[in-house]
Structure 1
Amino acid sequence: MTMTGPLLAILLQAAATPTPVVPKPAPPSPDAALARMVALYDEVCLQTFPIDGGVDKLMAAKGATALTPEQVKVTLVDDPGRGWELEDGDRTLYVFLELPPFHACSVRRFFPDAIPDLGAYRVVADRFEADHPSFAPVTPYNADRGDLHVHAVGEQRRLAGGGEDSLFVFDQHVIDPAKRAGGQTAVNLRFVHQIHTGP
């Protein structure tokens, strides 16, 4: 059957029309909550710490609420230190300053059920490590502690005077099936900069 007339014209036009290029979907935008957490960690723990007085002034300037000694003890147990909280939408950002010999600055936040992509964290950590050479990866840590699973990764460098300078990322979540079924699926994420100068 020979096609003529309008139908043939339509078919020829369709054949001559380039196949439309469907753009690839854009990668997901960085998680806004994680971006705020990373920015706070960079400012407080990488740029200001280990100058404790500087951390105190910065947290005051941000209007952070100081935690009571009892609240600090829940996290640091018997280690000396202090802490603050900052409201961040429907969640809270926590900053802890642990005093020597394990001198550490950390920023902590809960995420609803999984941690976002940590690319934003890697940007600031890589920049800090580039400015302070000799960091090397540490063996990842995985352990179950009661109802919690704790996972940690990081990098560390030896200090000339002894001790170590370390950057860690910890995440922990409830592993008890009954508790998870009941809604306890939040993940506790924390970024830590620790300087250990003891023996």
Structure 2
Amino acid sequence: MRIEFQPAARGGTRTVLHRADGVVLEMGSHDRKWRVPHDLAHAVTERELSLHSGLFGCVAAGAVFDTMSVVSGSPRHDAAARSERILKAHGHALSVAEALAGVVHEFAESGDPADPTAAAREAWGVVEQERFPYEDGGVGRAVETLRELAADWALLLPGRSIELNWPAGLVAEVPAAPQHREARSSRRDRGRRR
């Protein structure tokens, strides 16, 4: 998936997502109070920390959030149901991604030279019971990457964008569609007749 971050005409950010299935989505945001777009902070955090079930991993799998619209391409016949299953299955992971992206965004915005790992560990503990897995400087690398992209963003000319390629391996798992009751019972009936 290719992601384009563009300054919106009236402030904020326009994020355009080119999914592997040919569907192009637009996600608007209202982050005028930030120097660095929050969606960019999410993308960097999730990519650097390998969060496959965060915002962008869910979108790559077929999720569509309320703030998104289809720009081009033909969504699957079951796109709405698939999106609902993905979002329901990964609600907790989305909360974790939001907490970690918030820390990375805050450190990139503030320019705080401190190691962000302690703040990330604290945010993690609010939403997650598992052991904090990022002791090796991953959070610091995410902050540095976002700071570099923030500098590029500040110099971006009108009509230009920052592009990120989303790794193919960072895609949320898609839960299987529930089988309809009639289909299950007819399969059972066919099995009995043999």
TM category, shorter: under 0.3
TM-score, scaled relative to structure 2: 0.26
The structure with more strand, counted as a fraction of residues: 1
TM-score, scaled relative to structure 1: 0.26
Rg larger in structure = 1
